[in-house]
Structure 1
Amino acid sequence: MTPAALPLATPRPAKPRPWLWRVQSLLSNYLPLLLMALLASGTWWLVKNTPLIDAPGELAPPRHIPDYRMENFEIQRIGADGRLNVQIAGAELRHYPDTDTIEIDQARVRAIAPDGSLAIAEAKRAVSNGDGSDMQLLGDVRLRRLPSGAGENAPAQLEVRGEFLQVLANSEILRSHLPVTIRQGSSTVNAQNFEYRHLTGRVSFTGRAQGQIASRDGR
């Protein structure tokens, strides 16, 4: 007698991942804070290394008055390999010596990662402290992550929009205490506030958060 064939085990359907887990994965994969840290530290490095035309001859007591400003400016940082790393543009830049802060009106920052992917941050105003460890984007904030080789009008891999976004470079934290909208493809998350810690890959929300997470097949 021929032994009867054993029935094949029916594979169990995979349980859908919680939407919070998928948002966390989305952020950790498409928004590395190392790139955003480059934006913050790059602002300080660029301004500190920009030559001043009318530098004061004598030191004066610090006052909350800009010691220099630039209008309709564009500053670039070139890497050792000759490639563009960071580009910062705006309607006006001001440096305040008493607080050692930099303010930019109509700020637009482009940062190119080593893999060629592009991050573009735009806001009505940007404020950075002296060492570049704390950068705040204020008013109509839009942050996009684009794949390598894509034009600036291409669909973003990830987009974050809101009225406020803070980047803490040393601790690699991206957060907002105001509502934000996070989009990736057909997936959207609206949150009253959020915090993303790149070192742990943890994203957290408080208050009401609503999400529409599309499956891999687009449904």
Structure 2
Amino acid sequence: MRGGLDRASIYLPIILMGFMALGTYWLARNTPTLGGAESQKQVTHDPDYFMRRFSVKTFDATGRIKSEIHGSEARHYPDTDTLQIDQPRIRSFNDRGELTVATARTALSNADGSEVQLIGEAVVTREAPAPAKGAQPPKLEFRGDFLHVFVNSERIRSHKPVELVRGNDRFTADSLDYDNIGRVLELHGRVHGVIQPRAN
């Protein structure tokens, strides 16, 4: 009998390890996982933070102000990483220090502010630059229900009717593509213009 107990005790650690392995497997199968539910959660278009009556400024590497955004309220949407702004007023300076001011009922900006869609009573005004050699370029103003502003490349586009005021001249069109760096303006659709005579 003693010999039988000795032989059984040899296998006892193996039997205990087997029971522990079965117990661990059972726990792993029946323990609820928190991470899995989070990863499978459907991403919705709901804001994750708000700002009210705010002002945000951005600066370049030398400390010079690049842009300033004011708004009555802003909402950030994490699924698209966009910022929707109510009653925006945006002031932006290009590399030459020229000021552009934009307003609208609503603005939709991407994460870094390089693209801004102005919606409802949109107005973009490029102030007259400092006089250089020759005649000073006049102030330039774009108006429409929708204006898409590309800040870094200094472009303005719209697929909706627009009005352009350049000094005393006035143009209307069904759509627009303006390149401020290349000084190229494309008006499409029904284009009408009134050009005032230049004073001598």
Q: How does 1:1-219 map to 2 (within 5 A)?
A: 62-130=43-111, 132=113, 134-147=115-128, 157-168=139-150, 173-197=155-179, 201-217=183-199
Q: Secondary structure at the match of 1:205?
A: strand
In 1, distance between residues paired with 2:52 and 2:180? 34
Q: What does the per-residue CA deviation read over 1:68-108, in whole Å, with 9 as the maximum and x for residues that have no partner?
A: 11000001123343332211010111111112221111011
In 1, distance between residues paired with 2:93 and 2:112? 21
Pair 1:63–1:135, CA change in 2 (3 A)? same
Residue identity matched to 1:196? Y
CA RMSD of aligned residues (A): 2.8
In 1, distance between residues paired with 2:121 and 2:139? 19
Q: Secondary structure at the match of 1:95?
A: strand
In 2, distance between residues paired with 1:133 and 1:198? 15
Q: What does the per-residue CA deviation read over 1:143-167, in whole Å, with 9 as the maximum and x for residues that have no partner?
A: 1112358xxxxxx711111111012
Residue identity matched to 1:147? A
Aligned-pair distance for 1:126?
A: 0.5
TM-score where L is the length of structure 1: 0.61
Aligned-pair distance for 1:200?
A: 5.6
The answer as to whether partners of 1:116 and 1:147 remain within 8 angstroms in 2 is no
Q: What does the per-residue CA deviation read over 1:158-205, in whole Å, with 9 as the maximum and x for residues that have no partner?
A: 111111101245765421121111111111111122122457654323
Pair 1:183–1:208, CA change in 2 (3 A)? same
Bigger radius of gyration = 2
In 2, distance between residues paired with 1:65 and 1:203? 38
Q: Identify the range of structure 1 (71-80 vs 171-180) with the bigger mean alpha-carbon deviation.
A: 171-180
Q: Secondary structure at the match of 1:62?
A: coil
The answer as to whether partners of 2:165 and 2:171 remain within 8 angstroms in 1 is yes
Q: Which is bigger in relative contact order (C-alpha 8 A, separation at least 6)?
A: 1
Pair 1:133–1:61, CA change in 2 (3 A)? farther
Residue identity matched to 1:146? E
**What's the % identity of the aligned pairs?**
41
In 2, distance between residues paired with 1:131 and 1:192? 29
Unaligned runs of 5+ residues in structure 1 are: 1-57, 150-155
The answer as to whether partners of 2:83 and 2:111 remain within 8 angstroms in 1 is yes
In 1, distance between residues paired with 2:126 and 2:151? 18
Residue identity matched to 1:136? Q
